[in-house]
Structure formats: structure tokens, C-alpha cells
Structure 1
Amino acid sequence: MRPIAKAKPQREPTIALINIVFLMLVFFMVAGTLSQPLDSDLNLVETRELEGRAPPNALVVHADGRMTYAGQDRASVAEFIDALPEEERDTVRLLPDRALPARRLVELTRELRGAGAERVMLVTERALQ
């Protein structure tokens, strides 16, 4: 009697495919985050001593919710919109304090859109790192 040959278990080819896809993912993540180095002779502007000022046509919203425009307190969004020149009412700049709750910021943008602003632009600080 001849013994019955056992069928060899076949290796699953999907494991190798998963490994290749994972390595490609890691490669593209690393390649996408690398940035071009700055020229060695380039000296960037230092802004440590620069006094920060809001753009002249921006609604400044403080952490406590108080709003100012052109150095004057504004009680409401409608009062701010009324103070804007007619040609500046379609695009409004909003300068929120970092500590302003996000919920209040969303409410303000909705109020500005409801008052006639077509675009609401948030003015933020950008850091080079």
C-alpha cells in the first residue's frame, strides 16, 4: 500500500501584497512630508520685535467675545457690517483670539454670512517651522 501524499498548504500570496502596499504607503508619507531646504545664504525676516496689528478692515474678536473694529467696540455683527464701506461688505476679515471658543467663532461666521458677507476670511498667524 502506498501512502497518500498530503497536499502542501499553499502560502497565502496576499500577505506579500499587503507588505508591499504598506511599504509604498510609508514611502509616500515620508516623501510627501519632506520639504525643500532653504538656501544657506537666505536670511529670514525676524518678527520678534514687530508689533502685531490687525488689518484695518478686520473685525477683532477677543477671547471674552468682545468685538472691535477700527479700535471701536462693536455690540453686534450688524453694527460692524453697517460700519463697513459698501464695497468691502462682500468679503469680511475676522481676526479671532486664539482662546475664543470654536462654537462662538462658528456662530460669528454664520451671523456675518446672514448679514450679507459672501466670504468670511479668518486672519491667523502663520509660523515657519
Structure 2
Amino acid sequence: MRLNHFTVKRQKAEPTIALINIVFLMLIFFLVAAQIAPPLDGDVKLVSTQDLESRDPPDALIVLPDGLMTYRGASITPSQYFTIKQESQNSDLETIRLVPDRALSAVKLIDIGNELKTLGAQKILVVTERGISE
């Protein structure tokens, strides 16, 4: 009597264990390599500037919501601003501080920035409000 031998093909196991090991080692590496900032001490209370009156930075060009500009309380155009700054002896024409109103559209702000660049401004600093959420 002859027996037929059936060969059963075994499926190869997926290398999931190796993948899990690699991911675990990467996790450990990044935890060790990362700089973790310690939390603030619970007794420390941060300074609140919410109720303070704000003051315009000196020699800043203020941009109102409608796009009009003021300098030291007087309405002004960018070309007039450059004329005044050129007449001033110790002024920096390359760097301009621009204080836009919150309601000013971004398109108008970009147009004003481009106009100031064409007049000779090398660097335009946009002054904004910065806050820390609690």
C-alpha cells in the first residue's frame, strides 16, 4: 500500500515582532534625545498685562483700519514719512516699525509694505500684541 504524502505549506509569519521592536526602540530614542521643559512652579503667577494702557512705540508708523496712516498723531502718507525721516539726523530709514490696527485687512497691510519697500525700506517690523493663554 502506498501512502500519498500531502505536503502542507506553512505560511511565513509576518515580521510584526521586528516592526514593534523597531518602533519601541525609536520611541525610547526620541524620549531620551528630546529636551523636555519642566513645568512652571505652581506657586508662580505670571504678570498680567491685559489691563495696562498701551503706548505706541516711538517713531512707529500707525496704520488705521481703513488704511490711513498716522505718525506722531498726524495723518501722513508713506512718502511724507520718508521725507520726515530723511530730515531727521539720527533716524534709521532701512528699518520701519509698522503698527497695524487689528481690523486692518491683510491685503492692505501687504500693499502698504510693498509701497514702503519701493520707497527704500529694507526691513519692516510689524509690531503686534503677544499674549500667553492661561
- TM norm structure 2: 0.72
The residue aligned with 1:108 is 112
Aligned residues: 121
Residue 113 of structure 1 aligns to a residue whose secondary structure is helix
The residue aligned with 2:93 is 89
Q: Which runs of 4+ in 1 moved over 6 A?
A: none
Correspondences of 1:1-129 after superposition (within 5 Å): 1-13=4-16, 16=19, 20=23, 24=27, 35-40=37-42, 42-74=44-76, 76-84=77-85, 85=88, 87-129=91-133
Which of structures 1 and 2 has the bigger CA Rg? 2
1:71-121 deviation digits (Å, cap 9, x = unpaired): 1111x2111221223532111000111121111111111111111111100
- Distance in 1 between the 2:44 and 2:69 partners? 39
Distance change in 2, residues 1:81/1:39 (3 Å): farther
Task: After TM superposition, give the deviation of residue 63 of structure 1 in Å.
Answer: 1.3
Task: After TM superposition, give the deviation of residue 56 of structure 1 in Å.
Answer: 1.8
Distance change in 2, residues 1:14/1:54 (3 Å): farther
Distance change in 2, residues 1:15/1:57 (3 Å): farther
Query: Which runs of no fewer than 5 residues in structure 2 stay unpaired?
Result: none
Query: Which runs of no fewer than 5 residues in structure 1 stay unpaired?
Result: none
Task: After TM superposition, give the deviation of residue 54 of structure 1 in Å.
Answer: 0.9
- TM norm structure 1: 0.75
Residue 93 of structure 1 aligns to a residue whose secondary structure is strand
What CA RMSD, in Å, does the superposition of the two structures yield over aligned residues? 2.9
